[in-house]
Structure 1
């Protein structure tokens, strides 16, 4: 049955990429999380989507120009009542010891090719013994290949925006076990083709109920959504039919 991944946590109701959003996703019953990582000036792996902190926090500037200590002072929960810091990847992986969630870590190294990011992320995954519960994805496919070479035991999945011809062939060529396509770039035929060829498909970002229905009907591997609660409600309709 299709799995539900909470995009940047339960980001429809909580500040994205915060521990509150991740904890809420788990409580809602999501199967997994999708989160983004960048490197600080002093090489800490932090969970934030944008290269700059301006949109999602009370601070400003590029993540790469700020130390971990500096970045932790910003409030990553601008909408909410309580102040929350940008999480470190360590914090998330430690918390994952208390549950069974799967986690898709997206390496945000398309704009700034953070030196050594793959190695740092892989070392942390191994330290917390989570290799079988992590998927590493990125729009930087060189980074995906490097991750696979460093850690063939950790699943990898290229992200892409455009429609690709027979993406399962491409995935197999870079030894990826899945693809994470933009929802609008994927047809039912492409999804079925990938699944038949043993490649997992996890489209992003699936927020409309009609799209959820469409993907549950064809038993897509997973959906990446801002709203796991709605997705779970719809998924239950399909579970009762089995």
Structure 2
């Protein structure tokens, strides 16, 4: 069965990367979450996609230049009425102890190579005993390799947005158990060959009905979508087919 991962939580209906978006994705029945982490000036791992807080919050500035206390003053729900805070990774992992979700943590260290980010994330994952429910991904593949070396028990998956030749061979070479390709950079043949070679494939961001059906048809490992409710509905209908 193809798993449904909620991209930055249930981001089609709630402010991305907020506890509401995560809680609603879980309530909807998603199998997993995808979220992004950056590191504050005082070393706190926080859940936010951009290096700057400007797009998604009421504040401005780079995450790396703000303290956790400062970051928590901003509203992460710019368009809605309800105030949302930027979550710390601690908050998400604590909450994950109350459910059975899988969580893909994307290390956003391609622009700023946050010193010690991998170690901080791994320590927290181990502290909350969630190693078997976490996938660490990043566009920074050096970071992926470092994470694997530090914690071989935690699954890793490189992210990429261009077509890589035989990505399953590449994944195996860096000891990754999965790949997270951009949907447009992957073909059915590549997915099938990756699966055949024991590499999970979880494309992003899959929002069109036809694309969801196509991935269900070839039994892709998972898909990462902004709208888990829609994807789950399509999966349910698809499973009922004779």
Question: Do the structures match in fold with TM over 0.5?
Answer: yes
How far residue 14 of structure 1 moved from its aligned partner, in angstroms, is 0.2
Residue by residue over 1:141-200, the C-alpha shift from the partner in whole angstroms, topping out at 9 and shown as x without a partner, is: 000000000000000000000001100000000000000000000000000000000000
Q: Which residue of 2 aligns with 1:44?
A: 44
Alignment of structure 1 residues 168-183 onto 2, 5 Å: 168-183=168-183
| Structure 1 residue 139 displacement after superposition | 0.1
Q: 2:50 and 2:206 mapped to 1: Cα distance? A: 20
Which residue of the partner structure matches residue 62 of structure 1? Answer: 62
State the SS of the aligned residue for 2:180.
strand
Aligned position for 2:141: 141
> For the residues of structure 1 that align with 2:236 and 2:120, how far apart are their CA atoms?
38
Tell me by how many angstroms 1:81 deviates.
Answer: 1.1
Using the alignment, how far apart are the partners of 1:186 and 1:164 within structure 2?
Answer: 9
Corresponding position of 1:108: 108
Q: Deviations over 1:189-236 (max 9, x none)?
A: 000000000000000000000100100000000000000011001101
Distance (Å, rounded) in 1 between the aligned partners of 2:61 and 2:81: 23
C-alpha deviation, 1:109, in angstroms: 0.1
How far apart are residue 115 of structure 1 and its match? 0.2
Unaligned runs of 5+ in 2: none
* Distance (whole Å) between structure 2 residues aligned to residue 210 and residue 241 of structure 1: 16
So what's the TM-score if we normalise by structure 1? Answer: 0.99
Q: Where does residue 197 of structure 1 map in the other structure?
A: 197
State how far apart, in whole Å, the 1-side matches of 2:141 and 2:75 are.
32
> What's the C-alpha RMSD, in Å, of the aligned pairs?
0.6
- Match for residue 99 of structure 1? 99
Structure 1 segments (4+ residues) deviating >4 Å: none
Distance across 2 between alignment mates of 1:60 and 1:39: 15
Give 1:84 deviation, angstroms. 1.1
* Secondary structure of the corresponding residue to residue 6 of structure 1: strand
| 77-86 or 222-231, which deviates more | 77-86
Give the secondary-structure state (helix, strand or coil) at the position aligned to 1:46.
strand
Distance 2:150 2:126 in 1: 11
In structure 2, how many angstroms separate the alpha carbons of the residues matched to 1:195 and 1:241?
23
1:241 offset after TM fit, Å?
Answer: 3.0
Q: How many pairs are equivalent?
A: 242
Q: Report Cα offsets for 1:32-76 as digits up to 9, x if no partner.
A: 000000000000000000000000000000000000000000000
Q: Shift of residue 238 of structure 1?
A: 2.1
Alignment partner of 2:137: what SS?
strand
1:2 equivalenced with 2:2 (yes/no):
yes
2:86 paired residue number: 86
Q: 1:240 Cα deviation (Å)?
A: 1.5
Cross-structure match for 1:229: 229
Distance 1:30 1:63 in 2: 29
SS in 1 for 2:90: helix
